[in-house]
Amino acid sequence: MNSSILRVQDINFSYDKDTVLHSISMNVSPGEFIGVIGPNGSGKSTLLKLLGGVLKPNSGQLHFKERNYLDYKQKQLAQSITWVPQEHPMAFNFKVSEIVLMGRHPYLSAFTFEGDGDVKIAHSAMERTQTLQFAQRNFNEISGGEKQRVVIAGAIAQEPELMILDEPTSALDIKYQIQILNILKQLNENQKTTIILAMHDLHLASKFCTRLILLDQGKIFKDGTTEDVLQKEPIEKVYGVKVHVIHDQNGNIIISPDRLCTQ
């Protein structure tokens, strides 16, 4: 039986006096593809920042491969865990190719430069995300959706064991939403990369994720398979809207609002 790649024990987090997460506990097995869902303000982004090592909990413990996060050096975590935020402010106008190549930095020693192998890995990541065609353009000159694909290319170049992504498809049109989710699914299935991502689109979450964690006001309301979580009662309770839960001819789950009426 595989041990957990990620173990979360009773973590709490507050911004000043505003408690955002309450007593969160969860185990993640290697190779899972997990979607974190819930309405705006439910704590999705904060949870992912904690899992990615960007924030530290006020209380509770985070373990990666049975070691406390605090026992790792930041560079060690960066070789195994990558966190992709929603927004990508860039103070310096790097080229796209340079941004992607930054994904190799956790593997470099001080005062060393990327080698041919690193360049090859970055090139492959740009091919997979269809960003190679603007590799020489400045990052600040491309669209929001293109920036998202570039940052995901950099995350792929990092070759992590665990990828944590905060709404990675939010700035993309439907074509690139499906493309990015397919790339993540391939990484999950072929490289056994563990994926945890926040999503708003429940239909896409049902198609790509094998497990969903439904957050409500900073607490885990339900944690289980997509079939278990995407039920009428928990969705109506958490989102505050009446819905129909429909299965199409292929068995996909479709959440349909009841005439857009709230409860």
Residue 114 is predicted with a pLDDT of 80
Q: Kindly state which CATH superfamily the domain 6-230 is placed in.
A: P-loop containing nucleotide triphosphate hydrolases (3.40.50.300)
pLDDT at 261 over 60: no
pLDDT in tens, 153-164: 999 999 999 999
Burial of 74 per CB tally in 10 Å (0-12, 13-18, 19+) = exposed
Give the range among 64-68, 108-112, 162-166, 241-245 with minimum mean pLDDT.
108-112
Going by pLDDT thresholds of 50, 70 and 90, the confidence category of residue 42 is very high
Domain spans in the chain, listed from the N-terminal domain onward? 6-230, 231-263
Residue 182 has pLDDT above 60, yes or no: yes
Res 254: pLDDT: 85
Predicted confidence (pLDDT) at residue 138 exceeds the cutoff of 80: yes
What is the pLDDT, as a whole number, of residue 249?
Answer: 79
